[in-house]
Amino acid sequence: MYKYDEVDHRLVRERVEQFRDQTRRYLAGELSEDEFRPLRLMNGLYVQRHAPMLRVAIPYGHLSSTQLRKLSHIARTYDRGYGHFTTRQNIQFNWPALERVPDILAELAEVEMHAIQTSGNCVRNTTTDAFAGVAADEYLDGRAYCEIIRQWSTLHPEFAYLPRKFKIAVSGSADDRAATQVHDIGLHVVKNDAGEVGFKVIVGGGLGRTPLVGKTIREFLPTRHLLTYLDAVLRVYNRFGRRDNKYKARIKILVQAMTPEAFAAKVEDEWAHLKDGPATLRDEDVAHYASFFTDPAYEQLAANPEAFTVPLVSDAAFAKWVARNTRSHKQTGYRSVVLSLKKTGVPPGDITAEQMDAAADWADRFGFGELRVAHEQNLILPDVKESDLYEVWQLARQHGFATPNVGLLTDIICCPGGDFCSLANARSIPVAEAIQQKFDNLDYLFDLGDIDCNFSGCMNACGHHHIGNIGILGVDKNGEEWYQITLGGSQGNHTAIGKVIGPSFAQADVPLAFEKIMNLYVEQRLAGERFIETVRRIGLEPFKERVYAKSH
């Protein structure tokens, strides 16, 4: 994991003091509401339905056990004993008092954390594959570049007041688990034919009101040019992105208006001046950052020890959990464990202070003191020995972390919705719960197999509903909450935007619509065919007919 040096510490402390003074001036009436808003948003502070909401950055989803304990302390001391993991690998606290936020930030700074640029029209937290560095299918570990991008984007003087928010995601694996095609910039770490490492650069993806899959503007960017090229893209966007209409202000609209080819050409023109400039990365620079992301002291283990294989055969519940909630590891004898935060009855992504402490202890006891946050809003123990899995599962069960539903229909990606968020048109949490209750039979759920279900409470699409195999969007109809269902969306290598199947549903009718969709899938699927594959093969029509058929 990256460790702050004196300068990193100093800059974060200076940002805390700057924000403390901004808060003081706001409370003293020296800054108006309108003036304070962009300043507080740039430090992750929203004013929500009930209270302020503070979003804390978890850079590319990496978290140490010490940091997680600090988050638990903050949840207990300044909030109501819980936090909420977001779809961009950050954590939100829903109940802090405005005047105490500077103190929270000062506490975070002690453990190398902050809320810098977790909101606002600036470059946001860089995200990546939650399994970076441990995944069996990884080509290249992109985390050194994530940290380089994090530092470049932090307090960037030229790009603090962009037309709109700006999100960058990095992927280094065969299977894109970072949703890079729906980010403002998606970077794939790749090798060219000469064995040189570089990036494929994708721009203009995004969800929200105008969901678009990003376009590749450069097939291969040598890594040394990463920052000068990012400067070029951001400068073109900063200068020419629309500022007259916030719904047309994302880079995707600029790319679409200019055409991807013309946008790419404009970036190349700008870059021609910046290329090989002072921000060009040298080998020693990259090596410096890569030195923080070396392998921990893995033991040389044989695969499938008896302590693992015996309970795997004798305990069906354990076997189910292993199948769904653990993943293969690059190191033989280890697996990564996904601690599910999708227990029925608990808002997706919510985690209690007690759970945080427990997970931090397991990270120390069974791993190397590190955890990851997945963009699917689950927590990950990246390095667990196979021989420890049975014990970890039992502990996780005791703490409500072991719902064996990772990747299944009830592993719903979900925004906080109308219960908390002032932007939302509709509540998401009770509807997600109703779906989880409808599909509470584990055997049936397992039989349905891999299904991404994504849920957003409004058009802003924080729950990424467009890229759910089955998506739900909360809409407002004359002051009532209604829900639109989309099918056919997907993330990863085959990113696609889902299509609306028809008129929206009242809250009580959503689970029934889901049931009809799943019934049709089970009837229609070919052997081994996943839900999304069936949807792609037979199209939306049969689903529409089934869902909207008049009862016989």
Partner 1 sequence: MQNLIKNDAVTEDAWHLIRSEDESYGAAEDVILPLAAWLALDPARSGQAAPWLAPDADLSLLLPVLAQLPLIAIDFPAFTDGRGYSLARLLRERYGYQGELRAIGDVQRDQLAYLSQVGFTVFAIRDDRPAQAALDGLRDFSDQYQATVLQPEPLFKRRTSR
Q: Which of 263, 289, 393, 455 binds partner 1 (CB under 8 A)?
A: 289
Binding of partner 1 at residue 275 (CB under 8 A)? Answer: no
Rounded Cα–Cα distance for residues 156 and 107 (Å)? 23
Nearest CA to 439 among 513, 375, 489?
A: 513
Q: Which of 99, 110, 158, 196 binds partner 1 (CB under 8 A)?
A: 158
Binding of partner 1 at residue 35 (CB under 8 A)? Answer: yes
Q: Which of 106, 279, 301, 434 binds partner 1 (CB under 8 A)?
A: 279
Binding of partner 1 at residue 263 (CB under 8 A)? Answer: no
Q: What is the distance, to the nearest Å, from the Cα of residue 77 to the centroid of all Cα atoms in its chain? A: 26
Binding of partner 1 at residue 11 (CB under 8 A)? Answer: yes
The CA-to-CA distance between both ends of the chain, in Å, stands at: 60
Q: x/- site string to partner 1, residues 121 to 150, per CB under 8 A?
A: x--------------------------x--
SS3 at position 325 = helix
Binding of partner 1 at residue 552 (CB under 8 A)? Answer: no
Closest CB 164 distance from partner 1, rounded Å = 11
Binding of partner 1 at residue 230 (CB under 8 A)? Answer: no
Binding of partner 1 at residue 106 (CB under 8 A)? Answer: no
Binding of partner 1 at residue 295 (CB under 8 A)? Answer: no
189, two tokens: 């770490």
Nearest CA to 513 among 547, 479, 480?
A: 547
Rounded Cα–Cα distance for residues 219 and 48 (Å)? 41
Burial 387-407 (b: 16+ CB within 10 A, else e): bbbbbbbebbeeebbbbbbbb
| Residues in binding contact with partner 1, number by CB under 8 A | 40
Query: What interhelical angle do 101-110 and 65-78 show, nearest 10?
Result: 160
User: Taking contact as CB under 8 A, which single stretch among the options 10-18, 188-196, 401-409, 489-497 is the one that binds partner 1?
Assistant: 10-18
Q: x/- site string to partner 1, residues 451 to 470, per CB under 8 A?
A: --------------------
Q: Which CB atom, from 51 or from 279, has the smaller least distance to partner 1?
A: 279
Q: Which of 18, 328, 331, 524 binds partner 1 (CB under 8 A)?
A: 18
Q: Which CB atom, from 161 or from 548, has the smaller least distance to partner 1?
A: 161
Q: What share of the chain is helix, strand, coil (3-state, %, to 5)?
A: 45, 20, 40
- Residue 513 makes CB contacts below 8 A (sequence gap 6+) with 485, 505, 547
Residue with tokens 């928010």: 165
320, two tokens: 């189910």
Closest CB 341 distance from partner 1, rounded Å = 33
The residues binding partner 1 (CB under 8 A) are 5, 7, 10-11, 14-15, 18, 21-22, 35, 38-39, 121, 148, 151-152, 154-162, 227, 235, 238-239, 243, 273, 277-279, 281-282, 284-285, 288-289
